[in-house]
Amino acid sequence: MRIVDASEVLTAEEETGTFAVLSRKPLSASEPLPIALPTAITARLYGFDAENRPLITDLPGLVGDVVVARSAVPLQADQRGCTLVLLFEQGDVRRPIIVGVLHDDCPAVTRLEAPPRIVSVHVDNERVLITADREIVLRCGESSITLTKAGKVLIQGAYVSSRSSGVNRIKGGSVQIN
């Protein structure tokens, strides 16, 4: 196979594994290409079916139809109505593959704020320190312990027991029992 430079115009007819050269003149913007290039198509995300497969609508030639698609990119429920970029498996419009989401036409994507801060966890074999900016919640079944930014410690559960082999002290600005 030989390498041709960008100024050569190619035809889609293959001759012994290479493309035939029609001319060496550069293409002008008004001249159509002599070969058909794959075209990306846009459509809208309609939603998801019961198996969480994406459903798309507004496909050219299938106006009003909703078609099940496969996706090469992760999609989320809040992206409903966003414009998608599609290619078609073997050129079949009923077998779309989603290859992207247009961010400039998708409020769910363009209005994302800065990524959430990562909670830090430090372990030094003697102490575990877990920090967060707003709240820490430890939850198991019906029980939870919540620490808030305002300094509140909320302990909830179906049964709460406090035991001590030494002093079990309750101290506060005011103490309310029942």
Query: Which domain covers residue 101, as residue numbers?
Result: 41-110
Q: How many domains does the chain have?
A: 2
- Report the 10 Å Cβ neighbour count for 148: 13
What are the pLDDT tens digits along the chain (178 aa)?
444 444 444 444 444 444 444 444 555 666 665 555 567 888 889 888 888 889 998 887 777 788 899 999 999 888 888 999 998 888 777 888 999 998 877 765 544 445 555 566 667 777 777 888 888 889 888 899 999 999 999 999 999 888 899 998 888 888 888 7
pLDDT at 38: 63
Give the model's pLDDT for residue 112.
45
Phi, psi (degrees; rounded to nearest 5) at 60: -60, 130
What pLDDT was estimated at residue 69?
A: 92
Instruction: Look up the pTM and report it.
Output: 0.43
The reply to whether 46 and 98 lie within a common domain is yes
Using alpha carbons, list the distances in angstroms from residue 130 to 33, 143, 158: 61, 19, 25
Q: Would residue 30 count as lying in a domain?
A: no
Phi, psi of 175, deg, nearest 5: -120, 125
Structure tokens at 166: 């030494």
Query: Residue type for 146, please?
Result: T
Q: Which of residues 85, 110, 135 is at a domain's end?
A: 110
Q: Would you say how long the chain is, in residues? A: 178
Task: Say how far apart CA 154 and CA 28 lie, in whole Å.
Answer: 72
- CATH of residue 64's domain is 2.40.50.140
Residue 44: exposure state from Cβ atoms within 10 A (0-12, 13-18, ≥19): middle
Report yes or no on 57 lying in a domain: yes
Q: Would 96 be classed as within a structural domain?
A: yes
pLDDT at 153: 92
Q: Quick check: is 115 in a domain?
A: no
pLDDT of residue 119: 60
Amino acid at 40: A
